[in-house]
Amino acid sequence: MDNLTLFIIIPLLTIFGILFCRDHKQVKIVSAIGMSLQLINAGILITMFLLQRAAGNTDMMLFVKDVVWYPSLNIHYFVGVDGISVAMIGLTSIVIFAGIFASWEVKDLSKEFFISLIFLSSGVFGFFISLDLFTLFLFYEVAVIPMYLLIGIWGTGPRHYSAMKLTLMLMGGSALILVGLLGLYFHSNPSGGPLTFSIPAISLVHIPPDVQRFFFPFLFVGFGVLGALFPFHTWSPDGHASAPTAVSMLHAGVLMKLGGYGCFRVAVFLLPDAAHQLAWIFIILTTISVIYGAFGAIWQKDLKYINAYSSVSHCGLVLFAILMFNKTAMNGAILQMISHGIMTALFFALIGMIYGRTHTRYINEMGGLMKVMPFLAVCYVIAGLASLGLPGFSGFVAEMTIFVGAFQHNDVFHRVVTVIAVSSIVVTAVYILRVVGMLLLGRIKNDHYLEITDAKWYEKLSTGVLIFSITAIGLAPLWLSELINNGLGPIIDRLLVVAH
């Protein structure tokens, strides 16, 4: 059994195990064991990957496995990882692990809940290891569809509306992606012969620029919908607000990264000419995302809305950096995906825990929570400081890499948009400190809150893992940055060849 396929098998086995559980408690234990194994597996993968690289293996993709799956269309089960996908797998396994413990108290239909959640995660893992566009798309759908059930059944507020909106908008994005993928497929072999979905194979083909220009917007916008590209981001505030805690965590933490990863691995990597020519349009849109999301967050009163808009801003920065086409900025994009993924998962976990105690998410109805639940409050402050890019946490590393990278361009356009994006650090500080001030500091507004208890062990575990991760990356970023750089090499080379 190869290591990569294990990432799909472990979730499926866990789901199988859950089916035989008799009560809520067993379900939780089985899920926790399964996802712990997944976390260990990710650790092993990262170690093995680093060892292979240290041993001098310079293949673009490692641990490759290629099995023909549907011969007549030349669809393969083709998996392999480079530094970037390894990093993303690490992120996913951390977030899902924390997510299981954050949903420790889900009691209604817990079996179905955990099954959907874990099934969703298997889709995400599959997406990150796929090197075949068809398999990639399949896993993408696997990751998106359970979301509908999870929000529609276990959500809060106007959950049916939100679930429908989110699913339809993402499906709209999928439709665009499918068109783009078919476009790639039918131009994958210009000299005649069998067509292919294989990413490495297509990357060697030179697709005519006008064809590229036609299909690039389909792919970039299609994946961009999931990456909260302005103006296709409005599913995010509603969807997150209605989703149950673990789903918000997983969605904002990992699923939105599928968008960024897809833009990067498929749209930009496979259609480099078009990417170069059309980048300016999307750079403008993403710059708007960055600033607009931040200003949108200032005004909100609902914790989840604040965080959703903040995610629009931070994920906007991911797409922004991807379009900068240099190694530093793109490295920053991947770092930002990982950093934002963990950070926002932490935020949503904490919001869920706070909501479970106060039964409201409106910041003006709360206050002084620092006094009654110091542990959670301190975690929230840490998450906030990480989010506003304080050194020592991962956000700083990612943002600085992006800004320095983006600013290295020699033309005024890139520099001006970079300065605009940089100015978001001030706006971010405003909304973060506003929330911290209103929610945690000051006097207690409601006497019922005096009876609130602080975090339970599973909540401490969930937040602890996430805080440990952002701090570890923030304190010693070099290894992660080098890991990603390692994967970026071939992609940048290809982009540079086109640029000259």
Partner 1 sequence: MINFSYTVFIVLIPLIFFVLLGFFGNKFKPLVSGIIGTSGLFISFLLSCYTAYQYFFVVPKIAGAFPKLIAYNTVWLRFTDTLHIDLGVLLDPISVMMLIVITTVSFMVHLYSIGYMKGEKGYERFFSFLSLFTFSMLGLVIATNIFQMYIFWELVGVSSYLLIGFYYEKDSAVAASKKAFIVTRFADLGFLIGILILSITTKTFDFISLTDPKGPALQQGSSILFLGLSTMTWSMIFVFMGGAGKSAMFPLHIWLPDAMEGPTPVSALIHAATMVVAGVYLVARMFPIFVISAPAALTVVAYVGAFTSLFAAVIACTQYDIKRVLAYSTMSQIGYMMLALGVSGYGGHEGLGYMASMFHLFTHAFFKALLFLCAGAIIHAVHTNYMTEMGGLRKHLPITHLTFLIACFAIAGIPPFAGFFSKDEILAAAFENNKLLWAVEYAVAGITAFYMFRLYYRIFWGKEQHYSHPPHEAPLVMTIPLMLLAVGAILAGLVPFQNLVTSDSLPFENHIELGIAIPSILIALLGIGIATIFYRKETNLPQKITRTLGSFYTAAYHKFYFDELYLFITKKILFDRVSTPVAWFDRHIVDGMMNGVSYVTNSVSGRIKGFQSGQLQQYAWVFVSGAIALALAFIYLWTL
Contacts with partner 1 by CB under 8 A lie at 165, 168-169, 230-231, 233-235, 237, 292, 295-296, 298-300, 327-328, 368, 370-371, 385, 388-392, 396-397, 400-401, 403-405, 407-408, 418-419, 422-423, 425-426, 429-430, 433-434, 437, 440-443, 476-478, 481-482
Ramachandran region of residue 56, left (φ > 0), alpha (ψ -120 to 50) or beta?
Answer: left
Shortest Å distance, C-beta 343 to partner 1: 16
For partner 1, the closer of residues 9 and 492 by Cβ is 492
Fill in the amino acid letter for 153.
Answer: I
C-alpha 94/C-alpha 305 separation (Å) is 24
Shortest Å distance, C-beta 442 to partner 1: 5
For partner 1, the closer of residues 369 and 466 by Cβ is 369
C-alpha 262/C-alpha 84 separation (Å) is 12
Can you give 269-294 as a three-state secondary structure string?
HHCHHHHHHHHHHHHHHHHHHHHHHH
Shortest Å distance, C-beta 252 to partner 1: 17
C-alpha 181/C-alpha 267 separation (Å) is 9
C-alpha 229/C-alpha 177 separation (Å) is 14
For partner 1, the closer of residues 268 and 388 by Cβ is 388
**Contact indicator for 395, 386 with CB cutoff of 8 Å:** yes
Shortest Å distance, C-beta 444 to partner 1: 9
Shortest Å distance, C-beta 123 to partner 1: 24
For partner 1, the closer of residues 115 and 335 by Cβ is 335
Spell out the alpha helix ranges (H) of 227-326: 235-242, 245-250, 256-262, 269-270, 272-299, 303-322
Please, which residues have CB within 8 angstroms of residue 77's CB and are 6 or more apart in sequence? 65, 66, 67, 68, 69, 132, 135
Cα angle value 279/285/288 (rounded, 5°): 140
For partner 1, the closer of residues 85 and 418 by Cβ is 418
For partner 1, the closer of residues 206 and 301 by Cβ is 301
**Contact indicator for 312, 226 with CB cutoff of 8 Å:** no
For partner 1, the closer of residues 76 and 414 by Cβ is 414
**Contact indicator for 162, 241 with CB cutoff of 8 Å:** yes
For partner 1, the closer of residues 63 and 431 by Cβ is 431
Shortest Å distance, C-beta 54 to partner 1: 18
C-alpha 387/C-alpha 52 separation (Å) is 34
Shortest Å distance, C-beta 434 to partner 1: 7
Shortest Å distance, C-beta 196 to partner 1: 35
CB atoms near residue 453 (< 10 Å)? 8
C-alpha 321/C-alpha 268 separation (Å) is 12
For partner 1, the closer of residues 116 and 358 by Cβ is 358
Shortest Å distance, C-beta 140 to partner 1: 21
For partner 1, the closer of residues 419 and 499 by Cβ is 419
**Contact indicator for 87, 338 with CB cutoff of 8 Å:** yes
Instruction: Output phi, psi for 136, to 5 deg.
Output: -60, -45
Shortest Å distance, C-beta 254 to partner 1: 23
